[in-house]
Amino acid sequence: MTEEEIISSAWWVAHAFLDSGNHDIGHIKRVFRNATLIWEKEGGNLFAIKLSAILHDIGRPIENLTGWDHAEVSANITKRLLKSWNVSSNIIDIVYDAIYSHRFSKGRIPQTLEGKILSDADKLDALGAIGIARVFKHAPNRPIEEDINHFYEKIIKLPNLMYTETGYNLAIERVGVVEYFLEHIEKELDSEDR
């Protein structure tokens, strides 16, 4: 298979695996776009970056059913898929490590530039206007005040977790949108009490 055919097969797999919710195909498309944007400035192997972005969350539905860590599940499924598509072992190693270490909460640190780009691209989707939309989509029945707490506990700290300079600059731009939103929603929530 050509690289192009492998990429389009990866998209089919992503469409087949992913369901609705915060890690749907829309998330994958945005992470793919963010990763390509970062690659333009930072470099790295674009084929490996594309595969990592498309397949990084395919284990999500399995985590929802079994509780198994989706980063590990996605990395393992991807490794087998790429082997069956005769992708070279050095690309498989890069993609495996990138996907395995994309989840910050597991404390894993990406070992390659491609892994750092995936991690940054994924976190960028939790920032900016889309990041705000995803927080409220996550738990629709949660009181707004708890969503606001989540912004302070997690979202506004994300720029500090960026690995690449380009990712950091994009994160700073997008965290500004979140801060503007917080400033306004807090004023509006305050006025509700009066």
Q: Could you tell me which stretch among 84-92, 118-126, 137-145, 149-157 binds Fe ion (CB under 5 A)?
A: 118-126
In the complex with Fe ion, the residue whose CB is nearer, 108 or 156, is 108
| CB of 88 closer than 8 Å to CB of 78 | no
Instruction: Name the residue nearer to Fe ion (CB basis): 62 or 185.
Output: 62
Compare residues 65 and 187 and give the one whose CB is closer to Fe ion.
65
Give me the least distance between CB of 59 and Fe ion, in Å please: 8
Q: How far is the CB of 93 from Fe ion (least distance, A)?
A: 19
| Selected binder of Fe ion within 57, 97, 114, 120 (CB under 5 A) | 57
CB of 123 to Fe ion, least distance (A): 9
Phi, psi of 89 (to 5 degrees): -65, -30
Residue span binding Fe ion (CB under 5 A) among the ranges 49-57, 87-95, 107-115, 135-143: 49-57
Count of residues in contact with Fe ion, rule CB under 5 A:
2
- Taking CB under 5 A as the criterion, the residue among 91, 122, 123, 162 binding Fe ion is 122
Instruction: Note the residues at the interface with Fe ion (CB under 5 A).
Output: 57, 122
